[in-house]
Structure 1
Amino acid sequence: MHKPGRERLAAVNKRDGLESSKPGELHTQLAQKLGIDILGRKWLPGDILPSEVDIANTYAISRPAVREAIRTLAAKGMVEPRRRRGTCVTERAKWNMLDPDVLSWMFATKPDETLVKNLFEMRLILEPAAARLAAQRRTDAHLEAMSNALKIMGRETLLTEVGLQADIDFHAALMAAAGNEQLGALNASIGATVALSNRYKIAHDILGRDPVPAHMAVYEAILNRDAEEAHWCMQYLVRLAVKDLLHMDAIEDLRTETIIP
């Protein structure tokens, strides 16, 4: 039976980047598209988004799906309803910049240098400190998890999903070894940053050097309970990662001569 309405819906959704065989998934795709547009400054803080009806018509999806997408963005602090005005884009300071979805949307297009610097400054603050604690508090189980991740990274490389997951697992095991629940709560954000930056580098052929030796140095320092060495090696690892990502000779405010030669 011919269904022109359904075909039109599929055609419009595909045109605008919303395509799913399951209608319930469309609100997730719409939230992603709107989130990327907000991050890309199509709408600025203080701007009012198109009405629910207009968005539904533009993307040929149901109004309940639009409402669910808006709720998703509101939960991440990116928009808020304004009585008698509509849905307003909030100030960036209110956005949950560590939300894994928001991080993913940031890397959907070429990330700007400020974003990259901010994320890696966060990693430079958190991960070396976590490595220092891990050297003091790690258990055999933590060491085994890190060692297994390193073996997989070396065998599979970061060009495979298995290798990419092993990199995430290494950092997760290290954060767990720090023995701090509050630091551990940031593991999803750290893991998302690691995964997204790696995937971006692979997609743009800027993967850079073999990451295993730098990770191995961190592991060996933790194995030997050398807290200061673990701190330094993790700092070195993060600095190499940001240097490769930006594909530049130096990043001045993230650089010292002894860390990045």
Structure 2
Amino acid sequence: MPLLDRNFNLSQRMTQELGRQIVCGVFDKDASLPTEAELCEKFGVSRSAVREAVKMLSAKGLISSKPRQGIRILPREQWNIFDTDLLRWSLESNPSMKVLKEFLQMRIAIEPEAAALAARNATPEKIDAIEAALERMRAAGDNLEAELEADIAFHVSILYASNNRFYIRLRDFIETALHVSIRYTSPIKANHEAVVEDHAKIFNAIKNRNPERAKHSMLLIIDEALNFIEEELTAKEQS
């Protein structure tokens, strides 16, 4: 029985499934992956589909394939963790608090400065986009999924408003990771109005062209989430 649906691009579907299994630790990291023939049988695909999937996963830094060495999983240090597929697989596999802590540390290095740049550089249209996301958050009420999507749109809109191509290029990384991390950090404030108000402070600082206040307001909400994760890690270590 083929594992993958033949109505889809088999090499892409196989890339997704095999990549997810590698990231989730299904395979022994110190051993070779199954052979081409074994992968063909396991996934119900042709050798060409297997080879294309191997090529895609090699480009992501997950594996290497060499004659007489087989297909091997590369050390995690070589994985392209900014690749959105790889990031999604990591976060879908019950991410550890350590991974979430590292992500929040990354956000602290990026988003406060992006907010400051947005206060300096945002066009009226991009300020409107941030405000629209904020209003969606406000209107979401108890609809957690709607609030999550609006929250992500708010943060991504600020990256665009920074008018810095390097920050903008981080949009996929931020968006993909936020989909999971907000679910873990949202218990910090069970108060919907308080969450909206914290984001409104960032928006108002950007709209009023106050870079330092925008930077500080963004830093506060990420630092609060980071403190929550660090408390969870400490509690686990002590238990």
TM range (shorter): 0.7 to 0.9
**Structural mapping, 1:1-261, within 5 Å:** 8-9=1-2, 13=3, 18=4, 20=5, 22-24=7-9, 26-43=10-27, 45-157=29-141, 159=143, 162-198=146-182, 200-201=183-184, 206=187, 208-209=189-190, 210=192, 211-242=195-226, 246=229, 249=231
Corresponding letter in the other structure for 1:216? A
Which residue does the alignment assign to 1:257? none
Corresponding letter in the other structure for 1:235? L
CA contact (8 A) 1:157 1:164 kept: no
CA contact (8 A) 2:115 2:202 kept: yes
Distance in 1 of aligned mates of 2:167 and 2:39: 39
C-alpha offsets along residues 54-108 of structure 1, whole Å, 9 cap, x if unaligned?
A: 0111222332222222222112111121222111211222211011111110122
Corresponding letter in the other structure for 1:22? N
TM-score of the two chains, using structure 1 as the length reference: 0.78
* Shift in alpha-carbon separation, 1:191–1:158, aligned structure 2, 3 A: farther
CA contact (8 A) 2:80 2:86 kept: yes
Corresponding letter in the other structure for 2:178? V
TM-score of the two chains, using structure 2 as the length reference: 0.84
Structure 1 residue 165: deviation in Å?
3.2
Structure 1 outlier segments of 4+, above 6 Å: none
Structure 1 residue 50: deviation in Å?
0.8
Corresponding letter in the other structure for 2:54? I
Instruction: Name whichever of 225-234 and 43-52 sits farther off.
Output: 43-52
SS in 1 for 2:71: strand
Distance in 1 of aligned mates of 2:227 and 2:46: 44
Corresponding letter in the other structure for 1:64? S
Distance in 1 of aligned mates of 2:178 and 2:143: 14
- The structure showing larger relative contact order (alpha-carbon pairs under 8 Å, at least 6 residues apart) is 2
Structure 2, unaligned runs of 5 or more:
235-239
SS in 2 for 1:80: strand
* Shift in alpha-carbon separation, 1:194–1:176, aligned structure 2, 3 A: same
SS in 1 for 2:92: coil
CA contact (8 A) 1:129 1:231 kept: yes
SS in 2 for 1:72: helix
The alignment covers a number of residue pairs equal to 231
Task: State, as a whole percentage, how many aligned pairs show the same letter.
Answer: 29
Structure with greater helix share of residues: 2
Structure 1, unaligned runs of 5 or more:
1-7, 253-261
